[in-house]
Chain A
Amino acid sequence: MADWSRGAATPGRPPAVEVEALARRFGRRWALRGVDLRVEPGEAVAVLGRNGSGKTTLLRVVATLLRPTRGRVRVAGRDVVREAAAVRERVGLMGHAPGVYDDLTAAENLRFALRMMGRAVDEQRIAAALEAVGLGREADERVRGFSAGMRRRLVLARLRLQQPEILLLDEPYASFDAEGVELLNAFVRETVERGGAALVVTHDLARGEGVLERAFVLDGGRIVQEVQVTGRPGAVREVVP
C-alpha cells in the first residue's frame, strides 16, 4: 500500500496543494479572483461556499482539468500547467458525475481503470476493492442498473485501487447513504494517515466531521474565511454560509 512519508511536519516535503493568487475567468465572468490556500500532507481540508462561488472551478484547476488564467497552483511541488502529467499521477478525482461506463460491468470498469493507470489487472484486488465498498455481489452486473449511490461506491472502489496521494473530491457525500459516508470517510482517513491529503468541496461539512480538519469558505471567487474544524463540536455550523 502506498505511503507518502506520513506527517504534515515532514521537513523538506512540499505542500500537498499550494494555490497562490489563483484567478480563473470564463468569458467575461471571473469564477476565481485571487485565491490563496495551502493543504499540507496529512491533512483533509474542506472548501465550502454557495453555488457559483468557485469551488468546483478551484478543484478542476488543481486537478489539471482547467488552466489558471492567473496565479500559480502546485500539487506535491509540481506545477499544474508545466508538470501536468506528474500532477495527474498523484491525484484521484471523485467529481460531480461518477465518470463510470454504464455498459460495462462494475468489475470491467475497474479493469479498464487499472489498464489506463498502466497497472497490471489483478482480479483479486478488483474483487477486494468491490467487496470493500459493498459491491462484491454486483461485480458482474452492468452499471446501467446501479443507483447513484452504487455508482459513487464504484468510484470509491476505483480510488481504492488507484491509491492516489491527493484526493480531490467534489460533493462526495451526495448520493451516499450513511454506510457509504462511513466508507468514504474511512478512505479519506486512511489516505491522510499515510501522509496523503484530501481537498473536499462540499455543502455538507457535517458528514465529514471528524475527518475534515480545516475549512475554507469561498464567496464570489475569493476565500472569505478559514476555520479549524477538528475538535470543535458544532464549529462546522458556524462556518457554513
Chain B
Amino acid sequence: MPSRPRRILLCVLCGVLFAPIAGAHVLRRAETPSLPGEPLSPLLVQTLRLDPASVRTLGIYSSRDGGDVDVVYGRRVGGAECLIAVGHGGTGAGCGGLFARGPVAILEGSSGGPKLERRSNLEVVGWARPNVARVAIVDTSGRTREAPLNENSAFVLEFGAAELQAGVGPAELVAEDKTGAELMRLDLSEPGS
C-alpha cells in the first residue's frame, strides 16, 4: 500500500478508536459519585435537570441508621425550584412552586411500605421561608415534636422503625412566626388513616 493512503487510513482508524474512548470517559464522569463539597453527583444533576450552578446544600443530618440525609436546593433550567433529599440509598425531589402551599416546603421520604408499619424509616424534610420561626409536627399519637430550623431554615424530622411499626407517623405540620401566630397548617396523615 502506498504510504500516503496508509497514513490517511491510520489517521481515520485512530480517530475511530479514540472518539469512543473519549465518549466513554464522558459517561464515566457522569456516573462518578459526588465530590466533597458537591451535594449531588453530576448524574443526579443531569437526571433531575438542574442548573448545576444553582445546587446548594441546605443541611446535612445524621439519621438513626447511621447514614446522612442531605437536604439540597436546586433550580431546573426551566426555572422550577426543587427541594431534594439524598439518603438511605436514594434521592427524592419535589420541584415546582416550593412555597405555593405555604411558607414551608415539604418533602417526605420513606423506605419500605406502602403501609406505615412496613416502613423502616420516614423523614419529613422541610425548608421554610425566613418569616417562619417555628415548625412543629404533630404525630398520630398526638405528640408535638419540634423541628429545629437550621441556619438555612431547613429541617429534618425523623420517625424510626420502632415508631412506624407501632403505627406512629406524622399527622400535621404547624408553622408559626416569631410572635407565635400560625402561618401554615398542613395535613400529613397517611391515606385511610
Q: Do A and B bind each other?
A: no
Interface residues of A (CB under 8 A from B): none
